[in-house]
Amino acid sequence: MVQAALQFRISEYVSRYHPVLWLRHAVGIFESSGRTAQRGLKVCLALGLVVLGWWEGGYRWSASGAHWSVATIIAVTVLTAVVLARVRWRQGGETSTAWLAGAYRGVASWLRRPSWYGLGVIVWVLIAVVVAGWDLHSFLREVHQLPTLSYLIGRVTRFRVGRMGFFLAWLVAGWYVVAARPGSARPGTSHLGRDDAVDAHTAGDALHRRHRHADLHAGLKDSEHGEIPPC
Amino acid sequence: MLAVLIVLAMVLGGVVWSAIAGATVIWLSLTTIMATARPSLRLPTLSDVVWFFLRSALGRWILIAAWAETGWHLFCQHP
């Protein structure tokens, strides 16, 4: 009688509190409320970034903690970029040679037929040259009257909130540069420095070549295993 | 009056940096407004400049190198 009661209690316990059941229950909740979980994940990520920024903001430039944390972030970012570069290469996209050639063609085309858009590109180049040139000039003179850009930023990053703000902006910029996909550009925004017709032709051609290469590669792999690829 | 006092209190380099920052903000605003308000007279926006580099692996690696150097310089070297 006692044994039967004990067995009943054990089976009841197992049916209620078994880890597998808990796991199933948790997965069920996760699946049923996918959007809520995604939102929660984003909130957690944002909170984590703020905490990381606050922690990093407490360091001075000379602290070893600042050195290894920034170095770790750079290393992780570069590793992620290497992995994603391999994935992007498989997906197809513009080769570096085609990119350089396209930029050259864009400049040559603009010299032949100056356009409003090309003028805008020149202004951007001018801004970059002025910033870099004045910064270099101030750096070489080394006088109090001519502060460099990093000196001015240093006046802000000496405070915890300032350093935190710059650090978070730097993290977000790094994430964007590494994770932004070529296909996610807005239409009409990817023709900087290139002739439109040439751009479309070259990009389409490159993609076609890459797909053809991928198909041939897949076919070769199949034939190695004794299978005939479909024609 | 306050603006004049601020300019007088600033060193020469500060004035030049302020002028560059002002010109950049004006240009950024102009390109953004033109891109939405007058698509026929579209000027390259900051997003276009970034995407020009992100289109190929070489351009992306140039941006990543610049990003890494900026971070190390700002947070780990004497600013």
Question: B78, A123: Cβ pair inside 8 Å?
Answer: no
Gap between the Cα atoms of A44 and A52, Å rounded: 12
Which percentage of chain A shows pLDDT scores above 90?
33
Q: What was the pLDDT predicted at A95? A: 77
Task: State the average pLDDT over residues A4-31.
Answer: 61
Q: What was the pLDDT predicted at A13? A: 58
Q: What was the pLDDT predicted at A111? A: 75
* Distance in Å, alpha carbon of B76 to nearest chain A alpha carbon: 4
Residue A12 lies in a domain: no
* Distance in Å, alpha carbon of B74 to nearest chain A alpha carbon: 7
Q: What was the pLDDT predicted at A218? A: 45
Residue of A nearest to B61 (CA): A81
Q: Does B70 touch chain A (CB under 8 A)?
A: yes
Instruction: Give the number of domains in chain A.
Output: 1
Best probe of the B interface among A79, A151, A152, A189, by most B CBs < 10 A, is: A189
* Distance in Å, alpha carbon of B1 to nearest chain A alpha carbon: 23
Phi, then psi, of A123 in degrees rounded to 5 = -65, -40
Gap between the Cα atoms of A89 and A192, Å rounded: 22
Phi, then psi, of B55 in degrees rounded to 5 = -70, -25
Question: B74, A180: Cβ pair inside 8 Å?
Answer: no
Residue A101 lies in a domain: yes
Q: What was the pLDDT predicted at A1? A: 60
| Residue of B13, B58, B74 with shortest CB distance to A145 | B13
Question: B72, A70: Cβ pair inside 8 Å?
Answer: yes
A127 CB neighbours in chain B (<8 A) are 20, 23-24, 27
pLDDT digits (tens, 9 = 90+) for A129-188: 999 999 999 999 888 889 999 999 999 999 999 999 999 999 999 999 998 876 555 444
Single out the residue of A75, A93, A46 nearest to residue B71, CA to CA. A75
Place of tokens 């010109």: B23
CB count within 10 Å of CB A141 equals: 12
| Residue of B41, B51, B67 with shortest CB distance to A189 | B51
A177 CB neighbours in chain B (<8 A) are 50, 54, 60, 63-64, 67
- Delimit the domains of chain B by residue range: 1-43, 44-79
Report ipTM (2 d.p.): 0.86
| Residue of A146, A167, A178 with shortest CB distance to B75 | A167
Residue range of the domain that includes A135 = 64-224
Cβ-based burial of A157 (10 A; exposed 0-12, middle 13-18, buried ≥19): buried
Weakest-pLDDT range from A10-14, A155-159, B25-29: A10-14
pLDDT digits (tens, 9 = 90+) for A33-65: 677 888 888 899 899 999 999 998 888 888 888
**Which band of pLDDT confidence, cut at 50, 70 and 90, is reported for residue A97?**
confident
A179 CB neighbours in chain B (<8 A) are none
Cβ-based contacts under 8 A for chains A and B: 150
